[in-house]
Structure 1
Amino acid sequence: MRRKFIWGVILVIFVAGVTYLAVSGSKTLATTDNGKITQADYYDEVKQSSAGRQVFAQMVINKVLDKKYGKEVTTADVDKQYATLRAQYGDSKFKQYLSQAGMTEKQYKESLREKQVMQAAVKANYKISADKLKEAYDNYVPDTTISLITAKDEDSAQAAIDALDSGESWDDVYKQYSQANSAVSGTGQMAAFDSTNTNVDSEIRKAAFNQDAGVYSASPVKGTNGTFYVVRTDAMAEKPAQSKIESKLKDKITNDFINDTNNQDEMKKIIGKLLNKANVNIKDSDLKSALTGYLTAN
């Protein structure tokens, strides 16, 4: 998760900066006894660097994908994912994370939107075999409801488990040990989620799906964000027919495909195909090769 968010920071900030430099190239950025450095100087240097070409390539890709698939991603879609992820961190840790990453809330949302547009583009152009769909259905876990204690640290999570083991009620233990978490209500109840829901922390999902109803985690569950939880599985719905959740399964397969680094060549082929259809024509000679990996892959 962190790697993707950091890329979002680089992309949003760097793109904005390079675009501004290109427009306002005469401004002086620094002076020395041996001369000055202007925005144009800096822009020329950046665009010839490997990082600069990568960012340029991503700018073009985003432009092409957004025109064709951007309408499929609504503000509500982004806000929902944003709220869920923020809740899992907790307000203080989330703000700390953004600060460390040098990212504003607006930039973070933009990175989420770009990923959702990419998912829509890949989903429309990635052919999923019947075997893959059947495998995804076999591994599917239906809607599961849980209760969650969000502990301040591992010791507190273990103390909560010890208290539950000694016979104290869930409600009493929750009130004593749980930190604020906007993703839950009451004494830690979360909205139902299934195995295709990537907004819920993968470690919470793993704990919830691998224990019976009424059972809580035997040891502290460490989320991918570093927060420790106690997870109680409350109920699990019956598994629906494959036809009723086929769209969800396809989304899950597509997301897994995108996130698997072993599929980079296939991803480039898909993107290259879309770039060719969009008649991309690079005017700047220094950036001519920025998209070669995508265009030749297709």
Structure 2
Amino acid sequence: MKKKILLAVLGAVSVVSLAACSGNSNTEIATMKGGKVTVSEFYDKAKTDQNSQQMVFNMILSEVFMNKYGEKVTDKMVDEQLKIAFGDNVDEQLKAANMTRKEVEQTIKENLALQEGLKAHVKLTDEDLKTAWDSFHPEVETQMIAVTSEDDAKAIQKDASKKDADFGKIAAEKSILPSKEDKGKVKFDSTTAATEVPEEVKQAAWGLKDGEVSDVIPVNSAYGSSFYVVKMVKTQAKGNDMDKYKDKVKEIATDAKLADQAFTQKAIGEELIDANVKIKDEAFSNILSSFTDAAQPEKKSTDDKKDDKKTEDTKSESTDESK
């Protein structure tokens, strides 16, 4: 699956670990004239912080999914994600980011275990597959040029559209894409990540015939604006036989499920219930409720009715007392 696993921020110290490992909750963190700060005081204050609540939830999630799905994650899968995240110079990049390889590999493994666990809950219907098929486009071969100036892009598009234009040479001279080293050649299909080929570029490319050059395609992202010019080298019609591309179609349908918040919330809730997770500290009593409620909607409905009845009873008692 063509996914970039997001790396969790490393280096944060767990408030739970700090309290648990101290051995004595009265251990002093700092002292000053007329006072001191103890581990217990720190923990009591820090555990109600939103970041601490999220940290404990992440720890629970990692523990649950690693216990059940960790064995499905191979070293090869971890290495692939390392390369995606940090490129070929992994160790140099980690050193610059002040992170150890062991820490990052563990984080990647936990994220992959979560992905494996979520995929285990995917049950594709005929409707899911039809929707995926409708959005699918098979692989095409193109040449691309990207620049940061719209005026430059317009000039490039004009030159590239000439009958005797050498698109590959222009790409090598003008493009900011890595593919400039290969005359701008880029192959992609509808499952290619938007970080590799922006959706705007894909949609524009689908409408091109072999040898045709696109208009300037503006792309806005978190990194700024860029402007693409695409030449279609070899397009491909998908036809009507979905079975020919069944693996790709299933991948699209599965990705759609994993991107559905309602689905992932329910799946995580089911795993938390199956793992029999019990919250022992009242400060964290609600960190799982939105997930477990999604997994047990009938229970939530019953609990809501009970809460409504309690509210009505309280109002009734208050009315009686006022009389």
**Do the aligned partners of residues 235 and 27 (structure 1) sit closer, same or farther apart at CA in structure 2, a change above 3 Å counting?**
farther
C-alpha distance in 2 between matches for 1:210 and 1:112: 38
Greater relative CO, 1 or 2 (CA 8 Å, sep 6+): 1
Within the candidate set 272, 275, 278, 1:278 is matched to: 275
238-247 vs 273-282, which moves further: 238-247
CA contact (8 A) 2:137 2:237 kept: no
Q: Secondary structure at the match of 1:137?
A: helix
TM-score in terms of structure 2 length:
0.68
**Do the aligned partners of residues 206 and 179 (structure 1) sit closer, same or farther apart at CA in structure 2, a change above 3 Å counting?**
same
CA contact (8 A) 1:149 1:178 kept: yes
Aligned to 1:252: 252
149-158 vs 47-56, which moves further: 149-158
Aligned to 2:59: 59
137-146 vs 45-54, which moves further: 45-54
CA positional deviation for 1:81: 5.6
CA contact (8 A) 2:171 2:183 kept: yes
Q: Does 1:173 align with 2:167?
A: no
C-alpha distance in 1 between matches for 2:245 and 2:286: 42
C-alpha distance in 2 between matches for 1:230 and 1:103: 38
Number of equivalences: 274
C-alpha distance in 2 between matches for 1:288 and 1:258: 27
TM-score in terms of structure 1 length:
0.73
Aligned to 1:235: 234
Alignment of 1:84-103 (within 5 A): none
Q: Secondary structure at the match of 2:137?
A: coil
CA contact (8 A) 1:133 1:249 kept: yes
From the CA coordinates, give the structure whose radius of gyration is larger.
2
Aligned to 1:21: 18
C-alpha distance in 2 between matches for 1:109 and 1:160: 43
Aligned to 1:207: 204
Alignment of 1:183-222 (within 5 A): 185-190=181-186, 192-198=187-193, 200-203=196-199, 204-222=201-219
Aligned to 1:226: 224
Structural RMSD (CA): 3.7
CA contact (8 A) 2:138 2:189 kept: yes
Identify unmatched segments of 5+ residues in structure 2: 296-323
Aligned partner letter, 1:175? A
1:229-284 CA deviation, whole Å, 9 max, x = no partner? 32222223453843343343233223223334xx33x3222111111222223333
CA contact (8 A) 1:18 1:43 kept: yes
Query: Percent identity, aligned pairs only?
Result: 26
CA contact (8 A) 1:269 1:297 kept: yes
CA contact (8 A) 2:57 2:287 kept: yes
Aligned partner letter, 2:215? A
Within the candidate set 266, 283, 289, 1:269 is matched to: 266
Q: Secondary structure at the match of 1:125?
A: coil
C-alpha distance in 1 between matches for 2:209 and 2:109: 36
**Do the aligned partners of residues 81 and 142 (structure 1) sit closer, same or farther apart at CA in structure 2, a change above 3 Å counting?**
farther
Within the candidate set 146, 153, 169, 1:150 is matched to: 146
Aligned to 2:292: 295
Aligned to 1:50: 50
Q: Secondary structure at the match of 1:268?
A: helix
